[in-house]
Structure 1
Amino acid sequence: MKAIVITKFGGPNVLELKEYPTPEISGDEVLIEVKAAGLNRSDVFQREGNYPAPAGVPADILGLEVAGTIVKCGPDVTDFKVGDHVCALLAGGGYAEYASVREGQCLPIPEGLSFTEAASLPETVFTVWSNIFQRGNLQPGETLLLHGGNSGIGITGIQIAHELGSKVIVTVGSNEKGKICLELGADSYINYKTQNFEDELQNEGVDVILDMIGGDYLAKNINILKPEGRLIHINAVDGSQTNLDIGKVMTKRLTITGSTLRSREYKFKKQLAKEVQKYVWPLIESKKFKPVIFQTFPFSEASEAHRLLEKGTHTGKIILVR
């Protein structure tokens, strides 16, 4: 098969289209003919040598989410068959003609969605559901603050939380991005380049915060959380070492948590997929939640797609298509 391979750690130019062995499958694995693959910020970290692939996953092929057609099933597969259209959460290997994955990490493509739209779903939807609704226990009527509202995680969190009855506030880097977030269901936005979100939310307070920034955001997040508030970390692009005021955590009875999805065990991912299909897929099929695709690129232009991803000017997902 052909695959986009990391020839060495570095910038976007290290990605090259090359011949690569087609994955072998066994047990409860399926082989997917990939039609589209989603890009994620973690792909950039891996390309640069800062986010190694788990054991047993191709270290030189990026890609955590794909959509396509099942062309082969292992002997223990029970939920899918050859010819099914699926999207899947991978631990890597998605930038290729074929990808293998255990069936519990696959979901049927929601009715009415294209392969391109479906490829934008797994990483962001699984991350949002796991962190905001499982770990953060966001409830109807509560207020959610999403840092990075225009990211793939942000636009997913906005729509799901809004439809399930929560108030949503986002931070963004421009008013244009903020207006798009409002159209998707956010109640308000804060432009972090011209406003201080701590000052803006000090009096109102929030119940749940999803943070991918880290650094000095920690203290600000703690200050604006209401009593019994929950802070969930999924990244720390501004640094993971920072000071923590434990006194405020105690007096406000806060919960500070976080997670990474890629390294979680198969049992967890399989159960998470079931919850996503039960609670999120109906929102998609009823048009209450829609994938937002910023731009698509042919697989052969993966380097250009990464350059766009690194600029951070997009709102929504960037997708490679075949």
Structure 2
Amino acid sequence: MRALTLGGHGTIDSLRLVDDYARPEPSAGQVLLRVTASSFNYHDIFTIRGMPGITIPFPIIIGLDVVGVVEELGAGVTGRRRGERVMVHPTDPLRGLIGEMYDGGMAQYATVDAGLLIPLPDAVTDVQAAALPIAYGTAHRMIVGKGAVHPGDKVLILGASGGVGTASVLLAKRLGAHVVAAVGTEEKGKRMLEIGADEYVNYREHAFDRWVRERFGKPGRLRADGGVDVVVNFTGGDTWQPTLRCLKRGGRILTCGATAGFDPVEDLRYIWSFELQVIGSNGFATEDFTALLDMVASGAMAPLIDDVLPLDRAAEGLRRVEDREVIGKIVIDPWAAS
């Protein structure tokens, strides 16, 4: 089978497309999937570069989002059938994250525990489903599951044009929020308006905290006006302090990651002076996936797909993710011709 493999930490150039990788066989309790779609996340960049405290079992097939058709059943598997279309829950309680701790979706076949399979509604395409697990599952747990976004809230979303960002825009709008998308280009800003954002700020042209104060007023310590109600910040780094300056009294920060750095300079005075809440969100649960699949199946939401590429162009797609050139998700079809 064809597979995109990583033999050791490095750069995207460290990835190798292997045409004759051995097809895996399902062990007891597992199924063999014919992978029909997989998508990239910024986490794949971290896997390639290496993360403190995480040891990758090389060689590894990357790809955390996996959708496919059940091809074979391992011994003892019940409740599953050959030909069933499924999405894979990315986290195996015993083995860890697929595409990081064991072989993932950037290949034509994959073996997974049968208990991780989530059936796909007929109305959801494989490409749509492949966009959901990591990015949309993370966003759903954060935006919906934490209960911190309410109708009428002004919500500023940093990194709005990526996978988690576009999911956050769509979900916050469904909750009745006034959504401001922070993006790095006018093209991305216009695209965010098309999917439902109410307005956008180009952070390369305007300091987003100053823009918020000019647009919504300076937050007051003794009154609940000015600023925004919620900032979604999964970038961290040098965006953290400006985030604190955006929030009205009693405002909330939602965070599920730190792509720009996990140890930013802090200013605790804003936390107590404005009675701010910092709300962390980690991962996703099966109920997040089923809720998302129901939304897509009913037409209430459509995941934003930037491009669908064949496996031999997968490295090109991941480089676009790394360079922030993506609006939405890059999906890979491992069976498509180049």
Same fold (TM over 0.5): yes
User: Which letter maps to 2:24?
Assistant: T
Given candidates 282, 286, 297, the residue that maps to 1:273 is 286
| Matched residue type, 1:166 | A
2:34 is aligned to: 33
Is residue 33–residue 71 contact of structure 2 (8 Å, CA) maintained in 1? yes
Which residue of 2 is the match for residue 225 of structure 1?
247
CA–CA distance in 2 between the matches of 1:308 and 1:216?
Answer: 22
How has the CA–CA distance of structure 1 residues 122 and 237 changed in structure 2, closer, same or farther, with 3 Å as cutoff? closer
The question of whether the paired residues in 1 share the 8 Å contact of 2:8 and 2:58 is answered with no
- Structure 1 residue 108: Cα displacement: 2.7
Which residue does 2:14 correspond to in 1?
14
Counterpart pick for 1:177 among 188, 199, 210: 188
Could you say if the C-alpha distance between residues 131 and 39 of structure 1 is closer, same or farther in structure 2, counting changes exceeding 3 Å? same
Which residue is 1:300 aligned to? 312
**Aligned equivalents of 1:146, 1:75: Cα separation in 2:** 46
1:231 maps to a residue whose letter is I
CA shift digits 1:168-203 (9 cap, x unpaired)? 111001111111101101111000011111112122
Give the equivalent residue in structure 2 for 1:46: 47
Correspondence 1:234 to 2:256? yes
Cα distance in structure 2, aligned partners of 1:207 and 1:225: 6
Equivalent runs, 1:76-95 vs 2, <5 Å: 80-90=80-90, 91=97, 92=99, 93-95=104-106
Look up the match of 1:200: 211
Q: Which moved more, 1:8-17 or 1:75-84?
A: 75-84
Q: Decide whether the 8 Å contact of 2:251 with 2:275 is kept in 1.
A: yes
Counterpart of 1:291? 303
Determine helix, strand or coil for the equivalent of 2:237. coil
Q: Distance in 2 between matches of 1:157 and 1:212?
A: 11
Query: What TM-score, normalized to structure 1?
Result: 0.86
Pick closer, same or farther for the CA change 1:256–1:297 going to 2, 3 Å: same
SS at structure 2 position matched to 1:219:
helix
Alpha-carbon distance in 1 for matches of 2:318, 2:17: 14
Q: Distance in 1 between matches of 2:157 and 2:55?
A: 28
8 Å CA contact 1:222, 1:249 repeated in 2: yes
Aligned residue-pair number: 310
The one-letter code matched in structure 2 to 1:200 is W
For structure 1, the 5+ residue unaligned runs are 262-268
Q: Which residue of 2 aligns with 1:24?
A: 26
Supply the distance in 1 between the matched residues of 2:314 and 2:42 (Cα, whole angstroms).
14
1:102 Cα deviation after fit: 3.8
Partner residue in 2 for 1:245: 267
1:79 CA drift (Å) = 5.5
- Cα–Cα, structure 1 residues 140 and 219, in superposed 2: closer, same or farther, change >3 Å? same
On the 8 A contact 1:64/1:89 being kept in 2, the answer is no
- Normalising by structure 2, report the TM-score: 0.82
Correspondent of 1:313 among 306, 311, 325: 325
Q: Is residue 144 of structure 2 the alignment partner of residue 113 of structure 1?
A: no
What residue is the counterpart of 1:265 in the other structure? none
Is 2:171 the partner of 1:149? no
- C-alpha contact (below 8 Å) 1:232/1:258 kept by paired residues: yes
Q: Could you say what secondary structure the match of 2:240 adopts?
A: helix
Q: Match for 1:49: what amino acid?
A: G
Q: Would the alpha carbon gap of residues 54 and 125 (structure 1) be closer, same or farther in structure 2, given more than 3 Å must change? A: farther
Task: Give secondary structure in 2 for the equivalent of 1:285.
Answer: helix
Structure 1 residues 108 and 245 mapped into 2: Cα distance closer, same or farther (>3 Å)? same
Contact kept? 2:86, 2:118, Cα under 8 Å: yes
Larger Rg: 2
Conserved? CA contact 1:85–1:109, under 8 Å: yes
Q: Which amino acid aligns with 2:265?
A: N
User: Contact 1:110 / 1:118 at 8 angstroms: preserved in 2?
Assistant: no
Provide the residue aligned with 2:231 in structure 1: 209
**Separation in structure 2 between the aligned mates of residue 205 and residue 302 of structure 1, nearest angstrom:** 41
Q: Distance in 2 between matches of 1:229 and 1:105?
A: 37
- Structure-1 separation of matches of 2:110 and 2:309: 19
Give the drift of 1:65: 0.3
Residue 183 of structure 1 aligns to a residue in which SS?
Answer: helix
